[in-house]
Amino acid sequence: MTGRFAPSPTGELHLGNLRTAMVAWLSARSEGRPFLIRMEDLDTVQASPEHEAAQLHDLSSIGLDWDGEVIRQSERFHLYDEALDRLAAAGSVYECFCSRRDIRLQIDAAASAPHGPPGSYPGTCRALSEAERADRRAAGRAPALRLRTLGGTYAFVDRLVGTSSGAVDDVVLRRNDGVPAYNLAVVVDDGLQWVTDVVRGDDLLSSTPRQVMLQRLLGLDTPSYLHVPLVNGHDGERLAKSHGATTLRELREAGTSTDDVVAWIARSLDLAGPMETPTIDVLVDRFDPTALPRHVVEAPDFTLVG
């Protein structure tokens, strides 16, 4: 049994990311299990080694450790390509020449909503002939690769939410710039790293049915899931720069210690009382995934609570 945290090194981790990482780590360590870090740096424009180093530093600062080397998705394209080749060999992959705009226009123009989740790909390029594909390539359009699905609904068990399910559509497997798609990479990596325990933000809840579908097609086990509710700003919006100091560095600069941040995370997870600053070992002892709060949490104002 193995847990993991898989941040995208595209910026500094904010309080919500740190809180989710803490839950992922506690979930593994409270059961004496290995814990891995995977850098999801597929987006080579935004991801950087500096962000990666800063994220690892912050995770260590709040007391989290991990087993083995940190792996990077940017170094594993060959593994995603292999999975893609297997799906293609089964006849399940097709080229899609649609831009996002094309897809939006097609959805708007359709008499009835396509099957699948909101914004689902309407299947425009599914049945192109070889000649039609050649025309599009000749016009300079690079294709993305999509999975030919049978639609349908995929269910999974979330340790907080219970059984959840969602419809799937023809997901992108490789973007038209040649970069593997997030859903494929995550499924391949969780499978190859023997991850059994996925803990992540609940903004990814709607991606999980697609990932379960890909696991089945690739013959991989479905891990257990725990989607952690996000931390929002005072205005109810997702944490962002506009909310002021939300990263460890910014908070430190504003006079809040890392211990205060850890104490806030612990309290927000119902793992500590209002005046307590428990050590990480105490949190490991107290952790019970079934007792985690199920609601969105508001970011603290450290000038009041520190």
Using CB under 6 A, list all residues that contact ligand GLU.
6-8, 40, 186, 200, 204
User: Shortest approach of ligand GLU to residue 7 CB, angstroms?
Assistant: 5
User: Shortest approach of ligand GLU to residue 79 CB, angstroms?
Assistant: 16
Sheet strands (E) in the chain: 3-5, 35-39, 71-72, 93-96, 144-147, 153-158, 162-167, 172-174, 197-201, 224-228, 231-232, 297-298
What backbone torsions phi and psi does residue 158 show, to the nearest 5 degrees?
Answer: -105, 135
Closer residue to ligand GLU, CB minimum distance, 72 or 136: 72
User: Shortest approach of ligand GLU to residue 113 CB, angstroms?
Assistant: 27
| Per-residue tokens: 231 | 């931390």
Chain centroid to CA 94: how far? 25
Closer residue to ligand GLU, CB minimum distance, 58 or 95: 58
User: Shortest approach of ligand GLU to residue 147 CB, angstroms?
Assistant: 18
User: Shortest approach of ligand GLU to residue 166 CB, angstroms?
Assistant: 15
Closer residue to ligand GLU, CB minimum distance, 7 or 122: 7
d(CA 299, CA 62): 17
Let me know: does 12 contact 253? Beta carbons within 8 Å: no
Can you give the three-state secondary structure of 215-245, one letter per residue? HHHCCCCCCEEEEECCEECCCCCECCHHHCC
Closer residue to ligand GLU, CB minimum distance, 149 or 211: 211
Closer residue to ligand GLU, CB minimum distance, 6 or 261: 6
